[in-house]
Amino acid sequence: MKLLIIEDEQALRENITNYFNGDGNICESCSCLTDAINKLSNYNYDCVLLDIGLPDGDGFAVLDYLKAQMKNEAVIIISARNSLDDKLKGLNIGADDYLTKPFHLAELKARVVAVYRRKTFNSNNKLLFNEISINLLGRTVEVNKAPVNLTRKEYDMLLYFIANKGKVISKNAIAEHLWGDEMDMHDNFDFIYTHIKNLRKKLLDVNANDYLKSIYGIGYKFNAE
Ligand code: CA
């Protein structure tokens, strides 16, 4: 999963970032409204963790921005304010959930996973795509009941492809989704090819159909037919 945490409290921001990164996600962070809008205009995220009280304005502006740009990020408000008004306002203008500080990181993670599942896979813990079965909680994959041993990146990649099945996905979008800011360090997208090649081989080894098609000069497509 790729997350953005918008939070001006440094210790909390770092805690959350480390927690999610340590769990195999990509978690980027910023501490003010300006940087947040900047990031959101350049990148896509699965989930945004949004503090309301920011030094240069109100976090609600992020919700307005996402709505105006018709962006699809799930948003969980994390705020010290516990007024019903704030909560209703946030949920009314597009937040998916609201968590009052202080909270346990495990609680935050459970909310993130729930919101992501609800938004992307209609709340199912098990995602089925023909002969491929994915357990979203255990992060395990089976093809016709045979387990497939995927690395984290391969697993995230498979999930990303299935969530976007039938669409042509650019290499840039894949890199951005799976590597976040890190991808700026690469000169080109050749590194993606290796991961895709390995994922494809592992699926073919257990007799899955060959869904992954390379679209010359653009990227890849996970064939839905
Ligand atoms: Ca704050």
Give the chain's domains with CATH numbers.
2-121 (3.40.50.2300), 126-222 (1.10.10.10)
What are the C-alpha distances in Å from 104 to residues 7, 109, 164? 16, 9, 32
pLDDT tens digits, 47-85 = 999 999 999 999 999 999 999 998 889 999 998 877 778
Q: Report the distance separating Cα 176 and Cα 77, nearest Å.
A: 24
pLDDT tens digits, 6-21 = 999 999 999 999 999 9
Under-70 pLDDT residues of the chain: 122-123, 181-187, 225
Spacing of C-alpha 17 from chain mean position: 14
Q: Report the distance separating Cα 71 and Cα 138, nearest Å.
A: 29
Residue type, 77: I
The reply to whether the predicted model has a pTM over 0.75 is no
Query: Separation of 91 CA from ligand 1 center, angstroms?
Result: 18
Query: Separation of 9 CA from ligand 1 center, angstroms?
Result: 6
Query: Separation of 99 CA from ligand 1 center, angstroms?
Result: 13
Q: Which residues place a Cβ less than 5 A from the ion ligand 1?
A: 8, 51, 53
Query: Separation of 17 CA from ligand 1 center, angstroms?
Result: 16
Question: Are 26 and 1 in contact, with CB atoms under 8 Å apart?
Answer: yes
Query: Separation of 35 CA from ligand 1 center, angstroms?
Result: 14
Query: Separation of 172 CA from ligand 1 center, angstroms?
Result: 33
